[in-house]
Chains A and B, each alone.
Chain A
């Protein structure tokens, strides 16, 4: 479990109203048994058109491999400021990763999407392995991934 006070960074970046309330969200990403080394994951927010808005979490420590998280890399420009303090270990085949973050209330039900890009050494890169709209209704509903992600679910508190 990772608890990061996320609201401030994202709120500043997106110039959200000052009265915003923080809300705890847990993102659960279960990987399939793709049979490879540990996977690098990028969880990030886009708008409805798929335009990058902010980074939620990067799994994987070696920044030189981040370019393989292609959609995220494109959007974030891989600026260190975008992911500073939001990284953790890569995720082994078949394992589940939980990340809990405080998200600004204003981001929910506002047309934003959570996207997951995945990459594994010597295997394909998956841009938008998962695309899930960030809504109250979508909370707790499992979404299937198209790459290494078996299923993805977020729970609003």
Chain B
């Protein structure tokens, strides 16, 4: 519901909001420009009487003096019967320039408030402001849900691609956008009478004036009493009309001044309602608040990107939701698949499972988890495929599942399997899948297989899970779903450096260069793929599938696109199909692969100390980070290998990095040397120093095998104990990142 409330207005309004935002950005800089050109005398220095005297000295035919909230003073005068308007210096009354409001800005302003369509356009603009308000509010609630509560709303956002960009930008800009939308809606509501218009503090004209000989403007007491900075407008009496008066309007109120006695007549202070209305307008336009104008402008600048990424997210969600339908009916199905999905990605996996089970002769019923039936009379197995939303919550298609489960009646021998989808970067990886697994067990169902957690939609993990399940069920279940078939490119091996053969851990650093394919005319015209090098950073992933196999393996990149080559560090696994394939490559050989971004595994940058931890080939991305560290952020590397003579990966490079201070400290541990130490030991040996670094805000990045990573996590927990902190807490703050395999 919340998602629909966010998506539909966004979709409808995106294009029109672009117009409002772009024009808003242009208008937002006006107060700052005006302020930069204005002279503002210190408060108390000159009164309106002084100002008027100086102006009249230069402009005997002064009709009106106006001061904008930015401090610009404009005099309207007539000279020899010709009207004129000049910007003047309030200190001297001298002309600065002729006053000519910009026709361009007037056009932009009209485009902004009415799409150049008068009242109909103003109504549309007002409606859009309300829609923007809705988008901001529903977006804030969605973000809070995603982050696991309002308290966590400022924490680093995990994930990647357009959803993450959308969330990051929106979080940055929401206060400004909310203010613009709220004040805009208010102004429109007042304009169209939906809110009462504050009674304008219009004093009525004085019934009687003294009618005496006009005194010089500098001597009028009522004008002497007002500081020039409080002036909004002073209208001079009509020449030679003794019954006329000065009309004075200030930031505080308005009234009239007798041109003979200087007495203030019919003065009315601004009412509270009028003040409110005035402030709403100022908060919208930034008039006289140049800094606010700029803040609102920067916020509005994000709207085009928000619209674009929002549309992308909507499209991705929409295009992944199409499928086979629910298949067999509840009464006849012998296998049931229930899907818990937020972004619809999980449905892709479910459809593949449904299709392969069908091929194996099963009657399959497939439905959202919220559609859990009271019972499935013929079913022998219940599959639950679910993602997790935010901090361990149910995704939207499973929000009612736990309640419905209370009324569920399992027939005898019904087995279940839970498959969780998630991202290891999140602190509660697949938490909801674990909860569902526990709930089904306590309901008395038989667990067919332990709950499996799939990291970032890994096609390999999904296939392996399918093999295990197929074996249990006695069928062949060749699952092939790959959620994001990435655009592949060709690469040529240019160099390889081999390590570790002597210690039975052959590990190679492989360097590839992207191959220039011939660009077609369109690509030439659109300046695309000039180098054919996809953009990537160290820590991103390189996907390669061995020949005759559709499932790609991901390797962490040890280089960035700016290095001009693609570097990975690969340990040859026993019977490893893909690692074996890569290890057999000779310089000049070509392979096909793709880049998958991994923005959740990057050092923070700046002055934040970085603690890098890795073992074996896990050093790859860490070495890439160090190579990129030309800003010389403090970086400490803890790495474990087998033997310093055989598999000390990157040894020469690391020496160089220490010399030029890209690397601050290097600690190694070797398991097949005299010391017989692991990387955990190296970390423990440095316990005090590491604790101090973390206290100072250091970030930890761990890359390597799963066992090593969990061992390292335990060591850090023990190091953090005296600080009353733990790894989970750091993880939640984005200060403990892992890339494990």
Write the residues of chain A forming the contact surface with B, with a CB cutoff of 8 angstroms: 35-37, 50, 64, 67, 70-71, 73-74, 77-78, 122-128, 146-147
19 A-B pairs (CB sep. < 8 Å): A35-B103, A35-B106, A50-B238, A50-B241, A64-B197, A64-B200, A70-B235, A70-B247, A74-B244, A77-B205, A78-B202, A123-B85, A123-B101, A124-B63, A124-B64, A124-B83, A124-B85, A125-B76, A146-B81
Please report the C-alpha to C-alpha distance between residue A32 and residue B238 in the assembled complex, in whole angstroms.
23
Asked if B204 is at the interface of the complex by the 8 Å CB criterion, the answer is: yes
B106 touches A36 (CB 8 A): yes
B101 touches A146 (CB 8 A): no
Please report the C-alpha to C-alpha distance between residue A126 and residue B202 in the assembled complex, in whole angstroms.
19
Please report the C-alpha to C-alpha distance between residue A74 and residue B106 in the assembled complex, in whole angstroms.
29
What residues of chain A lie closer than 8 Å to B238, measured between beta carbons? 50, 71, 127-128
Supposing A125-B64, A127-B238 touch, asked if A37 and B110 sit within 8 A by C-beta, the answer is yes
What residues of chain A lie closer than 8 Å to B81, measured between beta carbons? 146
Please report the C-alpha to C-alpha distance between residue A70 and residue B244 in the assembled complex, in whole angstroms.
11
Partner of B101, one of A36, A64, A70, A147: A36
Q: Mark B133-145, 1 if CB is under 8 A from A, else 0.
A: 0000000000000
Asked if B399 is at the interface of the complex by the 8 Å CB criterion, the answer is: no
A122 touches B83 (CB 8 A): no
Partner of B78, one of A73, A77, A123, A146: A146
B106 touches A126 (CB 8 A): no
What residues of chain A lie closer than 8 Å to B244, measured between beta carbons? 74
A147 touches B106 (CB 8 A): no
State how many angstroms separate the Cβ of B585 from the closest Cβ of chain A.
71
What residues of chain B lie closer than 8 Å to A50, measured between beta carbons? 238, 241
Please report the C-alpha to C-alpha distance between residue A84 and residue B676 in the assembled complex, in whole angstroms.
100
What residues of chain B lie closer than 8 Å to A147, measured between beta carbons? 83
What residues of chain B lie closer than 8 Å to A146, measured between beta carbons? 78, 81-83
Q: Give the tally of cross-chain contacts (CB within 8 A).
A: 41
Interface residues of B, CB < 8 Å — how many? Answer: 22
What residues of chain A lie closer than 8 Å to B241, measured between beta carbons? 50
B63 touches A122 (CB 8 A): no
State how many angstroms separate the Cβ of B209 from the closest Cβ of chain A.
11
B83 touches A126 (CB 8 A): yes
Partner of A67, one of B64, B83, B197, B202: B202
Please report the C-alpha to C-alpha distance between residue A77 and residue B64 in the assembled complex, in whole angstroms.
20
What residues of chain B lie closer than 8 Å to A125, measured between beta carbons? 64, 76, 235
Please report the C-alpha to C-alpha distance between residue A78 and residue B202 in the assembled complex, in whole angstroms.
10
State how many angstroms separate the Cβ of A75 from the closest Cβ of chain B.
9
Q: Kindly identify, within residues 80 to 99 of chain B, every residue whose CB is under 8 Å from any CB belonging to chain A.
A: 81-83, 85
What residues of chain A lie closer than 8 Å to B200, measured between beta carbons? 64
A77 touches B204 (CB 8 A): yes
State how many angstroms separate the Cβ of B622 from the closest Cβ of chain A.
61
The interface centre, meaning the residue of A74, A77, A122, A127 with most chain B CB atoms within 10 A of its CB, is A74
Q: Kindly identify, within residues 127 to 161 of chain B, every residue whose CB is under 8 Å from any CB belonging to chain A.
A: none
B76 touches A122 (CB 8 A): no
State how many angstroms separate the Cβ of A79 from the closest Cβ of chain B.
10
Supposing A36-B106, A127-B238 touch, asked if A122 and B101 sit within 8 A by C-beta, the answer is yes
State how many angstroms separate the Cβ of B299 from the closest Cβ of chain A.
25
What residues of chain A lie closer than 8 Å to B85, measured between beta carbons? 123-124
Please report the C-alpha to C-alpha distance between residue A77 and residue B266 in the assembled complex, in whole angstroms.
13
Name which residue of chain A comes closest to B81, CB basis: A146
State how many angstroms separate the Cβ of A49 from the closest Cβ of chain B.
9
State how many angstroms separate the Cβ of B203 from the closest Cβ of chain A.
10
Q: Given contacts A124-B63, A124-B85, A146-B82, list 7 more A-B pairs with CB under 8 A.
A: A70-B235, A77-B204, A78-B202, A124-B76, A124-B83, A125-B235, A146-B83
State how many angstroms separate the Cβ of A135 from the closest Cβ of chain B.
22
Please report the C-alpha to C-alpha distance between residue A132 and residue B439 in the assembled complex, in whole angstroms.
91
What residues of chain A lie closer than 8 Å to B110, measured between beta carbons? 37
Please report the C-alpha to C-alpha distance between residue A112 and residue B238 in the assembled complex, in whole angstroms.
19
Name which residue of chain B comes closest to A63, CB basis: B200
Name which residue of chain B comes closest to A144, CB basis: B81
Please report the C-alpha to C-alpha distance between residue A73 and residue B245 in the assembled complex, in whole angstroms.
13
What residues of chain B lie closer than 8 Å to A126, measured between beta carbons? 83
What residues of chain A lie closer than 8 Å to B82, measured between beta carbons? 146
State how many angstroms separate the Cβ of B238 from the closest Cβ of chain A.
6
Name which residue of chain B comes closest to A121, CB basis: B106
State how many angstroms separate the Cβ of A69 from the closest Cβ of chain B.
12
Please report the C-alpha to C-alpha distance between residue A78 and residue B247 in the assembled complex, in whole angstroms.
15
Q: Lowest 7 CB-CB distances: which A-B pairs, in order?
A: A124-B76, A122-B101, A35-B103, A74-B205, A64-B200, A124-B85, A147-B83
State how many angstroms separate the Cβ of B403 from the closest Cβ of chain A.
55
A37 touches B205 (CB 8 A): no
The interface centre, meaning the residue of A70, A123, A124 with most chain B CB atoms within 10 A of its CB, is A124
Please report the C-alpha to C-alpha distance between residue A123 and residue B110 in the assembled complex, in whole angstroms.
15
Please report the C-alpha to C-alpha distance between residue A124 and residue B77 in the assembled complex, in whole angstroms.
9
Name which residue of chain B comes closest to A75, CB basis: B205
Please report the C-alpha to C-alpha distance between residue A147 and residue B77 in the assembled complex, in whole angstroms.
11
Please report the C-alpha to C-alpha distance between residue A28 and residue B81 in the assembled complex, in whole angstroms.
22
State how many angstroms separate the Cβ of B122 from the closest Cβ of chain A.
12
Please report the C-alpha to C-alpha distance between residue A127 and residue B110 in the assembled complex, in whole angstroms.
26
Name which residue of chain B comes closest to A50, CB basis: B241
Please report the C-alpha to C-alpha distance between residue A64 and residue B82 in the assembled complex, in whole angstroms.
28
State how many angstroms separate the Cβ of B23 from the closest Cβ of chain A.
16
B78 touches A122 (CB 8 A): no
What residues of chain B lie closer than 8 Å to A128, measured between beta carbons? 238
Q: Kindly identify, within residues 199 to 216 of chain B, every residue whose CB is under 8 Å from any CB belonging to chain A.
A: 200, 202, 204-205
Please report the C-alpha to C-alpha distance between residue A15 and residue B235 in the assembled complex, in whole angstroms.
33
Please report the C-alpha to C-alpha distance between residue A123 and residue B197 in the assembled complex, in whole angstroms.
23
What residues of chain B lie closer than 8 Å to A78, measured between beta carbons? 202
Name which residue of chain B comes closest to A122, CB basis: B101
Name which residue of chain B comes closest to A129, CB basis: B83
Please report the C-alpha to C-alpha distance between residue A127 and residue B247 in the assembled complex, in whole angstroms.
13
Please report the C-alpha to C-alpha distance between residue A50 and residue B205 in the assembled complex, in whole angstroms.
16
Name which residue of chain A comes closest to B244, CB basis: A74
Name which residue of chain A comes closest to B235, CB basis: A70
What residues of chain B lie closer than 8 Å to A123, measured between beta carbons? 85, 101
Partner of A122, one of B64, B106, B205: B106
Please report the C-alpha to C-alpha distance between residue A73 and residue B205 in the assembled complex, in whole angstroms.
9
What residues of chain B lie closer than 8 Å to A122, measured between beta carbons? 101, 106
Please report the C-alpha to C-alpha distance between residue A122 and residue B204 in the assembled complex, in whole angstroms.
23
Name which residue of chain B comes closest to A76, CB basis: B205
Please report the C-alpha to C-alpha distance between residue A128 and residue B101 in the assembled complex, in whole angstroms.
23
Name which residue of chain B comes closest to A61, CB basis: B119
Q: Mark B56-86, 1 if CB is under 8 A from A, else 0.
A: 0000000110000000000010100111010
